[in-house]
Amino acid sequence: MKRRHFLATGAAAVGLASCRNDPEEMLWKGIAMGTEVSVKYHGKPSFKNALAAVKNAEEVLTLWSGDSSLSRLNESGSLENPPDVLLDCLQKSRELHEATGGTFDPTIHSFLEWAKSEYEVGRTPKEAEVGERLKRVNFDLVEFSKTKISLLPGMSLSFNAIAQGYLTDVFVENFSTTSALVNFGEYRVVGDHSWPVEVKGRTHKLARALAVSSGSGQRLSATSAANHLIHPKTGKSPPPKKVVAVEAAEAWLADGLSTVVAIGGEIPGRYSSARVLYPLR
């Protein structure tokens, strides 16, 4: 997806410039959720625990494997004794869903999968069909507890709007070093030292977390704006070339809010410390 490619390219450019200026700075690279990830850091930290935690979370949340907890939930409509990672993402999503008045909604996944299938066979969804499919999009109707998660018939979930940020946070929470810039699809800074991150040609001194959203990552149609970013109340997508970058205290939150702003929403007042870095306002 170009959204992720955009971030990876920016991180590489920053890394090359930074390494020339600071010979003590180290760069580690790997793969998570099919995306190149990196950590620039000082000191001699251990990666073992942090990477193991990310792998565990990825195995729960991925939709690429039919054996993941999330895939099994979507397939059967219910899941007993769900893992903590899945419950954590549900709780974070509920928080964002309520704060944004429903603009953030992981149940848009069922609509996205349907829209993809329509465009793949050359059909443009009709307004009446869109309205009917949107009836299955309502995160308020998802029931979850420590013992069971239940979806309504036809509903399915995706945490793509917070997953990369969530994995970034998981890594940071299990990683110990004096200073680092972690890029697991989204950025998050470890320590008090700020790091330069480039967004659309402008360099920002990042001290917290940063996420970027763009509809160009997964186009559904070559002749319309339809892409993977979809407003859950209208079924419409923002212009594919629209890019939004949001800074927040944690990467999952920056990730989710960048999606909200990209599809036309605003940052809720409860997240007043978050800010839009791009487009400039």
Q: Which of 246, 244, 173 is nearest to 209 (CA)?
A: 246
Bridge partner residues of 31 (DSSP): 36
* DSSP per-residue codes, the chain: -HHHHHHHHHHHHHHHHHHHH-TT-EEEEEEETTEEEEEEEES----HHHHHHHHHHHHHH-SS-TTSHHHHHHHHSEEES--HHHHHHHHHHHHHHHHTTTSS-TTHHHHHHHHHHHHHTTPPPPHHHHHHHGGG--GGG-EE-SSEEE--TT-----TTTHHHHHHHHHHHT---SEEEEESSSEEEESS--EEEEETTEEEEESSEEEEEEGGGSBS-SSSS-BS---TTT-----TT-EEEEEESSHHHHHHHHHHHHTT----GGGTT-EEEES--
Residue 274 is part of a domain; what is its CATH number? 3.10.520.10
Residue 216 lies in domain? 2-278
What is the distance in angstroms between the CA of the first residue and the CA of the last residue of the chain? Answer: 26
- What total of structural domains would you count in the chain? 1
Bridge partner residues of 197 (DSSP): 204
**Digitized pLDDT (tens) for each residue of the chain, 281 residues in all:** 334 333 333 333 233 233 334 558 999 998 876 778 999 999 889 899 999 999 999 999 999 888 999 999 999 999 999 999 999 999 999 999 999 999 999 999 999 999 999 988 898 999 999 999 999 999 999 999 999 999 999 999 999 999 999 999 999 999 999 999 999 989 999 999 999 999 988 999 999 999 999 866 677 777 677 888 999 999 999 887 889 999 999 999 999 999 999 999 999 999 999 999 999 66
